[in-house]
Amino acid sequence: MEDFIIQITPFVREYGVFGVFFLSFIEEIIAPVPSSIVLMAAGFLLLPAFGSIKTVFLDGMLWVVLPAAFGLTLGAILVYSLAYVGGEPLIKMWGKRFGLSWSKVERWRNRITKGTGDELLVFFLRAFPVVPNSLVSAACGMVRYPTRSFIILTFLGSLVRALIMGFIGWSVGEAYLSYAVRFSVWGRYVLIGGAAVIVLAIAAGMFVNRWRKR
């Protein structure tokens, strides 16, 4: 992972805003690329080391937060769109084996989108630094979460994530390398945990489905 960080550093230093935008876009569509590394590197390399909080905040919005949020959002739209198109056929083809039907997905989606809890959840998952972005985008696309809400919440959550990680990168200085590795490890644990939950849910669905057929 440290070798990967070393490769990102000169790219961000050379290309600045475009580098942050491009790497954020790539991070969104390729799960193994952690956004914490990109954003913390940008905070360390592109922000003035001894500037005032006001100066750092304004420069951070221009050089780190906004380009990262736009890159993450565009990448999220791509992942969301692919899952949106492929989710229904996939569930209709394989869902019966797990006791899942598209009508159940629609009923569940309609139920959770009646209040504001779903919006808060999507925003929090986007803003929380260790949650893999691509997993959230794919899940929202799979169940066909409302597109407009998804884009707005993704952008706002990405703003918060970029602000937090960029500020950490700026505040810890050269130590951002070790912090970035820690965040990446935590993100990997979250990804593994999410995959484990999905596997257990599928196994439980298969068990219930077979039990009902008896």
**Tally of domains in the chain:** 1
Task: Show the low-confidence residues of the chain (pLDDT under 70).
Answer: 1-6, 31-35, 94-102, 104, 108, 112, 115, 175, 177-214
The phi, psi pair for 39, rounded to 5°, reads -70, -40
- pTM score of the predicted model: 0.79
